[in-house]
Amino acid sequence: MKTPFKAVKVTDSIYWVGAIDWNIKDFHGYATDSGTTYNAYLVLADKITLVDTVKAPFRDEMISRIASVVDPKNISVIISNHSEMDHTGCLPEVINLIAPDHVYASKMGLKAIKNHFHSDCGITVVEDGSTVSLGDRDISFIETRMLHWPDSMFSYLPGESFLFSQDAFGMHLASCERFADEIDSFVLEFEGAKYFANILMPYSKFITKLLERIGALNLDIKHIAPDHGPVWRNAENIRHVVGLYKKWAEQKPAPKAVITYDTMWQSTDKMARAIADGLAGSGIQVKLMSLQSYHRSDIATELLDSGAFVVGSPTLNNNVFPTIADAMVYLKGLKPVNLIGAAFGSYGWSGESIKHLENMLDEMKVDRVVESVKCEYIPDNDTLESCNDLGKRIAEKLKQIC
């Protein structure tokens, strides 16, 4: 068999056999400007094992990489750590092709796969904390429910101190570099934070508990192999990314404010700029993010290490601007915590946008510590001074909290 795509050696007996998706720019509403990878791993145990598979269109790329090391038909075991389609889209076809002796998944993994493919795919359920033998070594399973689906689990090879972490510790980053220590640390931290904010943030409490549990298990971990982005194999990098997960899951308020808005005739834009000036003049870091220039997923990323969220919209047809509705629904679902904030906006004659924004902030549990500012048509200097003052008062509150 010709193998135009080759496996990448991770350790003497573990290979990366995934696929690189350079072109995906939208991952269910998250702007993946840097593309992604779908990682699958081949373990050359006595019972040759494939950990996770790839999104359906990349099946042949994965099979080629496997075949560059072993005949795919020699695979005895497939493990599905996570049933989302970017990791199982080709699973039924791969099972048909390989005919493995065992396919393992969590109980909820079996349920999800059944509901996706209307077949149980011959899955054997593995329990949390259980171990199966691969002949010359064992592999253990740790359920990580709601990180980020009910089915999610880690697989761990104790003999090799090797953790397969499915989506956790991943990032959407297409690259030919397979290891984190080959990639600039700024890129790792930026893409890691963006991934955490847009995929994992709603489950922050579970992440804190999981990290405590992993700590209590005292697992020796020399490699973390996620299902997206690079493999972590350097002790310092592993400590750093685990520390970042602890920090991101806590979302402690920081002296930073995100101002998100849209504008019709630049009135709300002028108000946003005056609020930013009040915040910045009081020593608060500001991200001014017009929805005409920034994607909702960039706003989520900035909120991850912020303490304030200020949102503005003109009134359009008795409501907020559609872009604001889009962003606020998305952000509410991600459940950022520990934020204070306020609303602002211009209007012509009815001015309902402010009330809608206040309700949206309340639903997000953003503590509205300052009265909203609204402006009829075009802000004059008095109104802009009020906006600047709104920024200053948010800054004062934020400094008290941080």
Residues lying near ligand FEO in the complex (CB under 6 A) are found at 82, 84, 86-87, 148-149, 167, 227-228
Q: CB of residue 22 vs ligand FEO: minimum separation in angstroms? A: 17
Give the active site residue among 52, 61, 84, 298: 84
167 is catalytic: yes
Torsion angle of C-alpha atoms 67, 68, 69, 71, degrees rounded to 10: 20
Contacts of 393 (CB under 8 A, 6+ apart): 278, 369, 370
Give the neighbor-by-neighbor strand order of the sheet with 14-16.
8-11, 14-16, 41-43, 49-51, 77-79, 102-105, 123-125
Which of residues 40 and 373 has its CB atom nearest to ligand FEO in the complex?
40
Q: Tell me the one-letter amino acid at 219.
A: L
Q: Please give the residue whose beta carbon sits closest to ligand FEO in the complex.
A: 84
DSSP state at residue 230? P
Would you state the structure tokens that stand for residue 182, as one six-digit string? 């080959």
Give the active site residue among 87, 172, 223, 228: 228
Which of residues 83 and 282 has its CB atom nearest to ligand FEO in the complex?
83
Q: CB of residue 21 vs ligand FEO: minimum separation in angstroms? A: 11
Which of residues 61 and 167 has its CB atom nearest to ligand FEO in the complex?
167
28 is catalytic: yes
Give the active site residue among 86, 143, 160, 262: 86
Give the active site residue among 87, 148, 223, 356: 148
φ/ψ (deg, to 5) at 216: -65, -35
Q: CB of residue 152 vs ligand FEO: minimum separation in angstroms? A: 7
84 is catalytic: yes
138 is catalytic: no
List 123's β-bridge partners, or say none. 103
Q: CB of residue 5 vs ligand FEO: minimum separation in angstroms? A: 20
Which of residues 104 and 309 has its CB atom nearest to ligand FEO in the complex?
104
Distance CA 87, CA 100 (A): 17
86 is catalytic: yes
Would you state the structure tokens that stand for residue 298, as one six-digit string? 């960039």
| Relative orientation angle of helices 235-250 and 185-195, to the nearest 10 degrees | 40
Distance CA 367, CA 156 (A): 41
Q: DSSP letter string over 110-144?
A: HHHHHHHHSS-TTEEE--TT-EEE-SSSEEEEEE-
Tell the residue number behind the tokens 């104790």, with chain if given: 158
Q: CB of residue 83 vs ligand FEO: minimum separation in angstroms? A: 9
Distance CA 162, CA 134 (A): 14
Which of residues 144 and 306 has its CB atom nearest to ligand FEO in the complex?
144
195 is catalytic: yes
Which of residues 109 and 314 has its CB atom nearest to ligand FEO in the complex?
109
Q: CB of residue 334 vs ligand FEO: minimum separation in angstroms? A: 15
Residues with a catalytic annotation lie at 28, 82, 84, 86, 148, 167, 195, 228
